[in-house]
Amino acid sequence: MNEYLIPVTISCTLITLSYIALKLRNRILGSMNEMVVVPLYTGIASLLMILLPITNEPAVTDLRHIPILMAGLQLGLPVALLSTLPPAAFILLIDGVRGVPDLLVGIALPAFISALMHRKEYRSGFERLRLGDGVKIIALLFLVKIALGFFTLPVPWPEYLQLNAYLFVISLLCLVVLVALHNDENKNWLLQRQLELEANQDRLTGLPNIRSFLEIAGNMLKKRQISILMIDIDNFKNFNDTLGHLQGDHLLRETGHLLRGTIGEKDYIARYGGEEFIVMCDSVDSRRLASLASRLCHAVAAYPFAGREIQPGQAISISIGISIAARPEDDLYRLIAEADKALYTSKRSGKNRFTFYESSTSATS
């Protein structure tokens, strides 16, 4: 009875270690995790499997290859090869040069074979691991091992085939469970990411929402000076009331997309609410800000929006208010309020223009 419980116990141990690894991966993100933490943990798991053999007769059999197979399938060859270092060092320390064949077949070979089935989408976590890829890896690995074993024959040929068939079944069952476990955990991670994205994204325009903007701008303002641009679509109520809310929503989406493509790479735009947008600019130079605001006004006025002919001047236009932080760690909410005041100065001064809060003077675009 104990002989049948041993592989079950070892498999459960391996699955538990893999579950912990999944939790670590989702909590510790970044290149350091992939290139240091994951290979180290995977290598230790493989080493533990060496210390927990399933059988010793007629030859030593263990599951050292499973953690490395999972690393190669999910993260590719570099991570899989790094994962081989701990078990390889242990084998060389115990067996010396005599352990090299065992190292190549039991450790290095699984790393290369699993990497053949790796897809770049697996690394990002946005695609489920395909069970078929795992089955192909196990089948290919044991076909190669059987072919190599034909020339070495550590045990009689019938016993060697029986031993590998036994290990193939156990490995396949472990890999099926691990792939299912990974996909289930990854599904929860994706759901969490989706919820975070929805919490920080405006559903209508696809732009970040004001919640996300306040967090990003607040963190930036702690480090350096920034500028705030408040942008409002002129006469939006007339457009919305005349053509309907669907056309109004379409105008908001197109305007948001146009503004995002016009601002600088280091600038950050969000939908403030209604027909208003807000931009965080990394520049505090008034000439550069004036140039940016002018480009935004011209880009919107020149764009062939559907329904623009019903607006004054037969064009869609925007008004902008600009506020510049006097120092790092300035009050973000005060900057937004100042930009908002400057925006309404632009509105009262004829629209289709920008105004700096400091001087309260307008410039027609």
Residue 25 confidence (pLDDT)? 63
Cis-peptide, bond into residue 58, ω within 30° of zero: yes
CA 313 to chain CA mean position, Å: 45
Cis-peptide, bond into residue 87, ω within 30° of zero: no
List beta partners, residue 230: 278, 321
The one-letter code for the residue type at 259 is L
This prediction's pTM? 0.58
Rounded to whole angstroms, how far apart are CA atoms 68 and 78?
11
CA angle 130, 148, 168 (to 5 degrees): 40
The one-letter code for the residue type at 325 is A
- How far apart are the two ends of the chain, measured CA to CA in Å? 86
Rounded to whole angstroms, how far apart are CA atoms 209 and 131?
39
Q: Which residues of 218-236 are buried (b: 16+ CB within 10 A; e: fewer)?
A: eebbeeebbbbbbbbbbbb
- For 119, 211, 232, the CA distances from 202, given in Å and listed in that order, are 32, 10, 16
Residue with the two structure tokens 């929402």: 209
pLDDT (tens digit per residue) in 73-120: 988 999 999 999 999 999 999 999 888 988 998 899 999 999 999 988
Q: What is the dihedral of CA 217, 221, 224, 225, to 10 degrees?
A: 90
Residue 276 confidence (pLDDT)? 97
The dotted CATH code for 210-364 is: 3.30.70.270
Cβ-based neighbours of 35, under 8 Å, separated by 6 or more? 78, 79, 82
- Contact of 318 with 300, CB cutoff 8 Å: yes
The one-letter code for the residue type at 38 is V
Rounded to whole angstroms, how far apart are CA atoms 212 and 39?
34
pLDDT (tens digit per residue) in 306-316: 999 999 889 99
Q: Which fold has domain 2-198?
A: Arp2/3 complex 21 kDa subunit ARPC3 (1.10.1760)
- Counting every residue written for the chain, the total comes to 365
List beta partners, residue 321: 230, 355
Q: What is the DSSP letter of 104?
A: I
Domain segments of the chain as ranges: 2-198, 210-364
Q: Where are the alpha helices (DSSP H) in 200-281?
A: 210-223, 236-243, 245-262
Q: What is the spatial order of strands in the sheet that 318-324 belongs to?
A: 268-273, 276-281, 227-233, 318-324, 353-356, 362-364
Token pair of 28 as six digits: 């510790």
3-state secondary structure of 178: helix
pLDDT tens for each residue of the chain, 365 residues long: 455 567 777 878 887 777 777 666 656 555 556 678 888 888 999 998 888 887 756 666 788 999 999 999 988 999 999 999 999 999 999 999 888 988 998 899 999 999 999 988 887 777 889 999 999 999 999 888 888 777 666 667 777 788 788 888 888 988 888 898 888 877 877 777 677 667 788 989 999 999 999 999 999 999 999 999 999 999 999 999 999 999 999 999 999 999 999 998 889 999 999 999 999 998 999 999 999 999 999 999 999 999 999 998 899 999 999 999 989 989 999 999 999 999 999 999 999 999 999 754 444 44
Residue 364 confidence (pLDDT)? 46
Rounded to whole angstroms, how far apart are CA atoms 57 and 61?
8
Q: What is the DSSP letter of 36?
A: I
Rounded to whole angstroms, how far apart are CA atoms 322 and 342?
6
